[in-house]
Chain A
């Protein structure tokens, strides 16, 4: 069970050790991704698309909330510029997931490309919460966390797409799984004190923008408002403490 450090230096042993260390950490995502992936698969096929599309989308897009939004856009016959703008807005947060990982992924070699493209909300939060144990290659550890997560997502989507039509009950409302996921992540973030003010700013600022600009146009102003308020807060915090912590 505890291979000597010399043995873990050989290439196959390195991968096996990394996979063994990584997979127990992915269990929470296994449950969530299977279920939400199934909800996505059900939704896409019940909208009239072939089950293969669910797999294609989960392999190549691999962004949970955006895939739900894409089902809506496909069903509405949205144009390509709209699709691009919508993706940019819904997935804008991914721009910020890479920043804390710059140094971490730099040592992973060619795997860095997949690590960057597979950085979903859930994988990001897993990686933030864990590090490779001593004696385990960090690059391969992060790689297997990312790969396992995507496997769960693709598997869930495929299951939902194929078995969705066989389910003996009405699936209306299953898309709420996405909302529930965000509520859960939001509450988990509220447990850390330093996240509370940004979380409230995001929630209240977006609600205000929804009332002001309406459902079709509130995302962009909400994002602008959030960034402005957060930068303003940082300015005040620096003025108060005279310091700023690097992450």
Chain B
């Protein structure tokens, strides 16, 4: 068990340090008041929506469209989440509704 704890600690430590480094880097490299290169400020503005799109694909990367259940639970649950959010605009409701739908789909419908 202590071996397992040591392994967990080292993985958690590595993940934490890399995350901290990424978050601290802009503040270490660029000083407030001094001009940040235009390309960097531009990317800072347009990258967040692009990366959110990438993360959706990342979450769905394990689906296999060629074999049962053809990614249907994921696609249906994404559609429900998106539909809820487009019409109700309630973040909590959209996340909860979509997740509950997905759990029902993988546990009961496509079990």
Contacts and interface: CB of A to CB of B under 8 A. Distances in A.
Interface string B17-59: 0111011111100111100101111111111111111111111
The winner among B12, B52, B107 for most chain A CB atoms within 10 A is B52
Given A98-B26, A102-B26, A173-B103, A189 B52 contact: yes
Interface in A160-216: 170-174, 176-190, 195-196, 198-207, 210, 215
B47 to A, nearest CB: 5
B99 A39 contact: yes
Contacts of B91: 28, 31-32, 184, 188
A201 B41 contact: no
A174 B60 CA distance: 14
Given A177-B95, A205-B50, A210-B57, 15 more contacts: A35-B96, A78-B11, A87-B18, A92-B22, A94-B22, A100-B41, A102-B32, A103-B32, A173-B106, A179-B74, A180-B102, A183-B81, A184-B85, A205-B53, A226-B51
Interface of A: 28, 31-32, 35-36, 39, 49, 53, 56-57, 60-63, 65-66, 70, 73-74, 77-78, 80, 83-84, 87-88, 90-100, 102-103, 105-106, 112-113, 116-119, 124, 170-174, 176-190, 195-196, 198-207, 210, 215, 218-219, 222-223, 226-227, 230-231, 233-234, 244, 246-247
